[in-house]
Structure 1
Amino acid sequence: MRRFLAISFIWLASIIPAAAQTYPRGPIKVLCSFAAGSGADVIVRFFANKLAEQSKATVIVENRVGAQGNIGTAAVAHARPDGQTILITANTVLAAAPHLFKDLGWDPRKDFAPVGMLARLSFVFAVDAKSSMKSMDDLVQELQKSGEKGFYGSTVNTGIVAAELFKAQKNLSTQRIPFKDVSDALGGLLQGEVTYIIYDTPWVLGNARAGKIRPLALTSKFRSSSFADVPTMAELGYKDYDLTPWWGVVAPAGTPEAIVKQLTAWFAQITAAPDTKAFLNKIAADPYPGTPDDMKAQLESDFKAWGDYVRLANIPVQ
């Protein structure tokens, strides 16, 4: 019997790809394309910590900030395809950036291997909590009075496109101040440099509870239980307004299929776990699981949609 079991084990080991047997070979680096403390950073670090539990490996989060998420994304696109460097990112970087920048240095369709989808959330229009503005109508009136002296702040693709679509529907001439990161944008809002900002629900939720900002409207098509009294832009009559970012995982193109499958299995277990659902609920997000094939198909659809958004909002290519 022992001899039979030993032979069986050797046979099973022989049919498992060598890449999967030896993975990971060291610390796994997870890149976050946005600043520490941002809503993106909160999401990335949660899933990175869970990946460490699943893989029994050391997992390191590295923030590569700049160019609306493009610097960190490029770093993973050019990383060695061995599964030791991966990116947890939003579809709005992968799908939108090619329509916003001429020379990215990476191609979302060619330079990445989809691993899986994780979660979805919304972005939020918000003003200084001390301001007199209590609704989007109040914000519109304020911006109409300000004209070209009205300003908004956002450092990510979703926020910029959301603001420009809003401007287009209300014929506003508000301008964007290109802050380096979310903390600078918050400072600009509280100091009166901008009239409003647009950022993701995890970051807005914390600052709203701290009494710093007042949320006015959600960009997604669904309401959030964490913002029970905050309407969606579609509810307020903004036509075809649905910007619902989702988060997923990619590895560099050429990563062995066995390693991608292992990562997919780990993240699927993480996404299905009760504590993950509780965490996402806490930050006003929802689980949004999906296979590599699901992710590839969704990104193709989003790529087209974001091209339409950028054209509708008349955003110049940088």
Structure 2
Amino acid sequence: MKIFQKLTVVAALFFSASIALADGYPDKAVRVVVTTVPGPLDAFARAVLAHVQTRLKQPFVIDNKPGAGGNLGADMVAKSRADGYTLLFALDTTFTVNPALYKKMPFDPVKDFVPIAVPVTYSQALAVNPSSKAHSLAEFVKQAKTLKMTYATGGNGSPSHLTMAAFMAAAGIEMTHIPYKGTGASVIDVMGGQVDSVFAVGSGILPQAKAGKLRALAVSGGQRSPAAPDLPTVAESGYPGFNASFAYAFMAPAGTPDEIVQLLAREVALAMNSPEIRELNRLADYTATNLSQQQSATWLQDARKQWADLIVKAKITMD
């Protein structure tokens, strides 16, 4: 009985300490590692965290640490104290693609992190040069089955590469892969006619399509883009169930008190409902997920399995 009473007291003290920590959090600046150079992810993280720091009354300071597909920055956070003062904003691919793509990971994407939020997803838009005879996805597939065609990507294992690999598997076609060091250069060469096609993020494709510099054929996500409501999804175009979506992930080191994780998840959700973030999502062609903290963890788990299966079947490597 005495042992039970002691354990009860220890548990109560631990619980009280956790509550106290959450109640007083944050009482100093919070460092948020962003795994890319300034760009779309960085801009989104800064916009969301501006709302969070206003409400929590402490600075949330961005620290850009790009490299190795996000592994460099994620590894730094994985090895940080789990006290809520070092967090991570990353592309979901660091946790959903890299484990299957890299022969060795410097951290365990499941055991070393706890997801706070997967606040938005984004799809890829398939585009061809305006001179192409393909005016629909069906015509594109027909061409690919009769002609030797090429496709550009932002590099091996990039979202553009994974999306096209998934689509080629679904459509039963093969094309020659032309990898670039970044999606921007790949889109430019499709506009110039050097490469036949590209899957790329909608914000890089749709403005060029409206300007007549590209012809967009479909989007890869589960729903149409608000920025191009007349553009069908791949699923609507003859491939039911097709969904190649990517996301941004807000993460904390494993062991971070749940009270802090849940607090941050609630604050991100509030930020996502602000007019400023809604407008940012519209302009960037992001879709708000409205996922809870636990649902965010499930989303990452499901995506990790989806891409691992594809990477093995398509024999995608970093070489």
Give the TM-score band, short-chain normalised: 0.7 to 0.9
CA contact (8 A) 2:77 2:252 kept: yes
Look up the SS of the partner of 1:225 in the other structure: coil
* Pairs within 5 Å for 1:105-120: 105-120=106-121
The alpha carbon displacement at 1:164 in A equals: 0.9
Aligned residues: 303
* Pairs within 5 Å for 1:87-102: 87-102=88-103
Give a deviation string over 1:260-308, Cα, whole Å, max 9, x none. 2332221121123344334323433332123322222232233222223
CA contact (8 A) 2:217 2:232 kept: yes
Who is 1:175 aligned against? 176
CA contact (8 A) 1:124 1:216 kept: yes
Alignment partners' CA distance in 2, 1:201 and 1:35: 20
RMSD of aligned alpha carbons = 3.1
Relative to structure 1, the CA distance from residue 283 to residue 151 in structure 2 (aligned partners, 3 Å threshold; closer, same or farther) is: closer
Alignment partners' CA distance in 2, 1:68 and 1:313: 19
Look up the SS of the partner of 2:237 in the other structure: coil
Relative to structure 1, the CA distance from residue 102 to residue 291 in structure 2 (aligned partners, 3 Å threshold; closer, same or farther) is: same
Alignment partners' CA distance in 2, 1:77 and 1:49: 24
Identity percentage of aligned residues: 25
Look up the SS of the partner of 2:223 in the other structure: coil
* Pairs within 5 Å for 1:1-318: 16-18=19-21, 20-31=23-34, 33-38=35-40, 40-129=41-130, 133-140=134-141, 143-144=144-145, 147=148, 150-155=150-155, 157-209=158-210, 211-238=212-239, 240-316=241-317
Alignment partners' CA distance in 2, 1:205 and 1:28: 34
The alpha carbon displacement at 1:131 in A equals: 5.2
CA contact (8 A) 2:115 2:296 kept: yes
The alpha carbon displacement at 1:115 in A equals: 0.9
Look up the SS of the partner of 1:235 in the other structure: helix
Alignment partners' CA distance in 1, 2:168 and 2:140: 11
Which structure 1 segments of 5+ residues have no match? 1-12
Give a deviation string over 1:115-166, Cα, whole Å, max 9, x none. 123122322112345655433344445545663x723213464322211122
The alpha carbon displacement at 1:206 in A equals: 4.3
Relative to structure 1, the CA distance from residue 187 to residue 201 in structure 2 (aligned partners, 3 Å threshold; closer, same or farther) is: closer
Alignment partners' CA distance in 2, 1:92 and 1:77: 16
Alignment partners' CA distance in 2, 1:124 and 1:141: 19
Relative to structure 1, the CA distance from residue 61 to residue 174 in structure 2 (aligned partners, 3 Å threshold; closer, same or farther) is: farther
Alignment partners' CA distance in 2, 1:165 and 1:211: 27
Which structure 2 segments of 5+ residues have no match? 1-15
Alignment partners' CA distance in 1, 2:281 and 2:251: 20
Q: With the length of structure 2 as denominator, give the TM-score of the two structures.
A: 0.79
Look up the SS of the partner of 1:263 in the other structure: helix
The alpha carbon displacement at 1:242 in A equals: 1.2
